[in-house]
Copies of this chain bind each other. A is one copy, B any other.
Amino acid sequence: MASAAEKKLTGLVAATFTPFTPQGEINLPVIGDYIDYLRETQGVCNVFVNGTTGESMSLSVEERKKLAEEWCKRGHGKLEQVIVHVGSMSVKESKELARHAAEIGVDGIAVISPSFFKPKTAGALRTFLQEVASAAPNLPFYFYHLPAFTGVNIPARDVLEGIEQLIPSFRGVKFSGNDLMDFGLCASYSQPSWSLLYGVDEQLLSALVIGANGAVGSTYNYVGCHIKNLMSAFENGDLVQAKAIQFKLQELLKYAVQVGFDVGVNKQLMSEISGLTLGPPRLPVEPCSSAHAQSIKQKLISIFA
């Protein structure tokens, strides 16, 4: 991995699942194969580790550290960037995770808003982010905006106001929301070194047209190779082709939602497609049957055939 200061994060970033053993403990040995699969089969060379897809909030601090270490170690020379999410309900634990991330040499860290106690103002949230960033001042820092999960509805643009003064290492946003006016306002406010990473896979094209530089999402684990084509088509001005691919992903997710879709289903789906053994999710997410995931896999195959 090159010096983070030199590289701007763009393109597709897979929000990785956390492999578990059948007994529900983290399963580090799978990660090496996981990285190979992403690179070789999907053509995806950036990962967002310990995010929502990775069930980070269900992990202990120790588990999060071990996972970050393994992704870094195994990704070395194979992945372009390993971004580690270090957000937590506790600013104290977040700082500990940020310090650890700096020690192991990740390419960047991201932080979500705490959501049990919700910041009441953009300023309060900014102060929280600043506090965490101060524990790893040399790591590129990303704000992770996920209002549907956190219930924190402060516009991302308000959070960004003056953030470059408070967090010199600030490098962008992972924006996982539907409000594209807010996203556009982030894009028009953003600085050249920032990355605007969109996180709602099923409407990526709508974000690209308003300023997204890249995309972080769980579906890129298994349809990354197709969405790379969407991004290329967009860059080449072929909106007809880009739209056609976007429609396919929408059709797939419509089906998945209809039959039942959450991080547990998503993880099983990835196991079925990739052949990796990712194991069950952790409570309170419930395990998904192989048959359920297979039906979504078949739909995927028929759509993207």
Contact = CB atoms under 8 A, between A and B. Distances in A.
A116 B149 CA distance: 6
Interface stretch (A27-35, A78-86, A282-290): A282-290
Interface stretch (A36-44, A162-170, A199-207, A270-278): A199-207
Contacts of A207: 206
Interface stretch (A1-9, A69-77, A220-228, A244-252): A244-252
Name A's interface SS.
helix
A253 B181 contact: yes
Interface residues of A, number: 67
A237 B131 CA distance: 44
Residue of A59, A121, A200, A285 with highest tally of chain B CB at under 10 A: A285
Given A57-B116, A178-B178, A203-B210, 6 more contacts: A58-B114, A60-B92, A180-B203, A185-B250, A206-B206, A209-B243
Interface of A: 52, 55, 57-61, 63, 89-93, 96, 113-121, 124-125, 127-128, 131, 149-151, 157, 178-181, 184-185, 187-188, 200, 202-203, 205-211, 237, 239, 242-243, 246-247, 250-251, 253-254, 262-263, 282-286
What are the nearest 7 A-B pairs in CB distance? Answer: A206-B206, A119-B284, A57-B116, A181-B202, A180-B203, A178-B178, A57-B89
